[in-house]
Amino acid sequence: MRPLTLSAAVLVVSLLSTLFSAGSAGAEFKVGAASGALAAIPAQSQPTGEVRFNANNQDERDAGVWIDGNYFGYVKELKGDKKVLLAPGEHEISIREDGYKDLVKKIAIAPGDIQTIDVVLEENPKAIYPGDDAAELRLDIQPKRAAVFVDGAYIGHGGDFGGHFHSMLVAPGKHQLKVTLNGYQSYETQINPVANEKARMKIALEKDSDSAAKP
Domains of the chain, first to last: 2-7+126-204 (2.60.40), 17-119 (2.60.40)
pLDDT digits (tens, 9 = 90+) for 142-195: 999 999 999 999 999 999 898 777 888 899 999 999 999 988 999 999 999 999
pLDDT digits (tens, 9 = 90+) for 79-114: 999 999 999 999 999 999 999 999 999 999 999 999
68: closest CA among 29, 99, 97?
29
- Please check the confidence at residue 212 and state whether its pLDDT lies above 90: no
Strand 2-3 to 168-170 pairing: parallel
79 against 9, higher pLDDT: 79
* Contact yes or no for 113/50 (Cβ under 8 A): yes
Q: Taking the CB of residue 201, how many other CB atoms lie within 10 A of it?
A: 16
Q: Taking the CB of residue 44, how many other CB atoms lie within 10 A of it?
A: 6
Give the pLDDT score at 45.
61
The burial of 137, by beta-carbon neighbours within 10 Å (0-12 exposed, 13-18 middle, 19 or more buried), is given as buried
Strand 135-142 to 187-191 pairing: unpaired
